[in-house]
Structure 1
Amino acid sequence: MIPSLFINHGSPLMALQESDYTRFLQDTGKRFAPKAIVLFSAHWEERVTTISFAEGPLTTIYDFGGFPDELYRLTYPAHGDPVLAGRIEQLYRERGLETRRDNKRGLDHGAWIMLRYMYPAANIPVVTISVNPFQTAAEQYHIGEALAGLGEEDILIIGSGTTVHNFHYLKFGQTHPEPWAEQFDDWLIDTIRQRDLASLFQYTELAPYASRAVPRAEHFVPLLQAMGSSSSMEEPLLLYRGYEFGTFSYTCFEF
């Protein structure tokens, strides 16, 4: 069985860097040999849960601007898996959840940057799923929960996002984390370890500095979806914790 993961995809520049975090991604990829990957990306927003049915090789989406030319020459030509996408669609329908298909969607930087480090051969099929930041935390969890059991078939589910993500509070050049960012993650880590879903679903009211850490939920909801998708009875694991620019969190979990 393969657990579900919540992974920080980092900034686009991470694709050109070697760091403790990119080495962590490489090591994490070596731990698991999935037959397919299902990925919720913070950088694909739709009002209705949308599933990529593209077969591939998938296009590499450069959903950013103003970066070095070298970055735009990088590709990640993994294939899709329309059969798996169809199965996911059916799992959602069985729970009464509305879905749509996208037959052309490639891999945005919430997907391909981390996957280039985890699985550089690009030889594992990838199915991406959109997020809707306007749904409740409980609804996000249940979207993930519909996929529980896929890990038992060696399908790796990844939620790609960030716990603390607020560009207004970045401290460029600062190497130590701001206390408020740490306090938010402290609360989150403790709540997740206890599987205290009631509190987690009310994180906007209960977590310290929640409105500052999560001013908009698109980068946070993949965590809820990844956690919901896990069928493991083990305690969730904190895989990595680090910060860049004072507040940008690289907190990662295994469920």
Structure 2
Amino acid sequence: MTQTTQSIGAPMPALFISHGSPDTVIAGTEAAEWMKQLGQELPRPRAIVVASAHFEIGGGVAVTADANPETIHDFGGFAPELYQMQYPAPGDPKLAKRIVGNLQAQGFAAGAVPDRGFDHGVWSPLKLIYPDADIPVVVVSVDPAAGPAHHYRLGQALAGLGAEGVLVIGSGSFTHNLGEAFKIMRQGQRCADVPDWVEAFTDWMNERLGASDIDALLDYRARAPFAAKNHPTDEHLLPLYVAFGAAGEGSSAMRLHQSADFGVLAMTMWRFDHAMADAPAV
């Protein structure tokens, strides 16, 4: 892969990243190695906005507003070195304030929150993609009770950011049945075969995303095969809808990567590009 030469402020796509297990950052998996190359292909963003599956807020949208967010180690039972890792990227309080104001203007109950750092849905993929931690990062919450349509609309409210060089990332998981994953983890089978029920779901999602079939995607729990088995709760898929919406109307979708961790955690990544580079700014 060659280094992209576009400058800071170049129009940015929106991305959906399957961040996987917290130890993906040190595991050397296919997905981890791919993420290490991703930052070399993209234009350098002037800031990053991440909708993280691990930042759950009910009844509204929270936006991190600290200038120097801490690194949160929101997991247990992993290698000691993970708990020593830091991702000291700065925040961007001014951008956070603008996002909150825009969300409120579009009918969201939104607010800036202090003292909320980077959960592993934020820092573990960013440590692979942008290891220098020198790009400002703002984190946006998901509402696990609100569903796909709410999060697609949330993404649409962020759609102007890409045109001004801000990278919007939805960080979650294409499939997320932790009960099944833990069974395989205990057996030490990180490269386990992908079961049919995972393959059927990912095939359906990939086909619908490639066709930009938003009606089907918003109704995925009723239409996709094995939807509830792959997502017993759907907070880890909701960031995908934020990323899709953030590319704006008429956007194009491209699958960038597909692999699996422990067989049942699909590490699928998608890119969504704006139809027009001069989309209105947020």
**Shorter-chain TM-score: what band?**
over 0.9
Q: Paired residue for 1:247?
A: 264
Q: Which of 178, 195, 213 is matched with 2:212 structurally?
A: 195
1:75-224 pair list within 5 angstroms: 75-170=86-181, 171-172=184-185, 173=189, 174-224=191-241
Q: Paired residue for 2:4?
A: none
Q: Equivalent residue of 2:124, what SS?
A: helix
Checking the alignment, whether the CA contact within 8 Å between 2:72 and 2:120 is kept in structure 1 is yes
Q: Distance in 1 between matches of 2:227 and 2:262?
A: 18
Q: Distance in 2 between matches of 1:184 and 1:68?
A: 31
Moved over 4 A (4+): none
Q: Distance in 1 between matches of 2:142 and 2:217?
A: 18
Q: Distance in 1 between matches of 2:251 and 2:244?
A: 12
Checking the alignment, whether the CA contact within 8 Å between 1:5 and 1:254 is kept in structure 2 is yes
Point out where structure 2 has 5 or more consecutive residues left out of the alignment: 1-10, 273-282
Q: Distance in 2 between matches of 1:247 and 1:233?
A: 32
Q: Which of 14, 36, 60 is matched with 2:24 structurally?
A: 14
Larger deviation, residues 18-27 vs 90-99 = 18-27
Checking the alignment, whether the CA contact within 8 Å between 1:13 and 1:71 is kept in structure 2 is yes
Q: Which of 13, 19, 25 is matched with 1:3 structurally?
A: 13
Q: Equivalent residue of 2:20, what SS?
A: coil
What TM-score comes out, normalization by structure 2 length? 0.87
Shift of 1:168: 1.8
Give me the identity figure in percent. Answer: 37
Q: Distance in 1 between matches of 2:162 and 2:142?
A: 20
Q: Equivalent residue of 1:77, what SS?
A: coil
Amino acid at match of 1:210: A
1:8-87 pair list within 5 angstroms: 8-32=18-42, 33-47=44-58, 48-56=60-68, 58-87=69-98
Amino acid at match of 1:4: A
What TM-score comes out, normalization by structure 1 length? 0.96
Shift of 1:186: 0.6
Deviations 1:69-125 (A, max 9, x none): 211111000000000001111110121111122111110000001101111110000
Q: Equivalent residue of 1:12, what SS?
A: coil
Shift of 1:18: 2.0
| Count of paired positions | 254
Q: Equivalent residue of 1:164, what SS?
A: coil
Amino acid at match of 1:217: D
Checking the alignment, whether the CA contact within 8 Å between 1:3 and 1:232 is kept in structure 2 is no
Q: Distance in 2 between matches of 1:102 and 1:197?
A: 31
Amino acid at match of 1:64: F
Q: Equivalent residue of 1:60, what SS?
A: coil
Larger deviation, residues 10-19 vs 196-205 = 10-19
Q: Distance in 2 between matches of 1:234 and 1:135?
A: 23
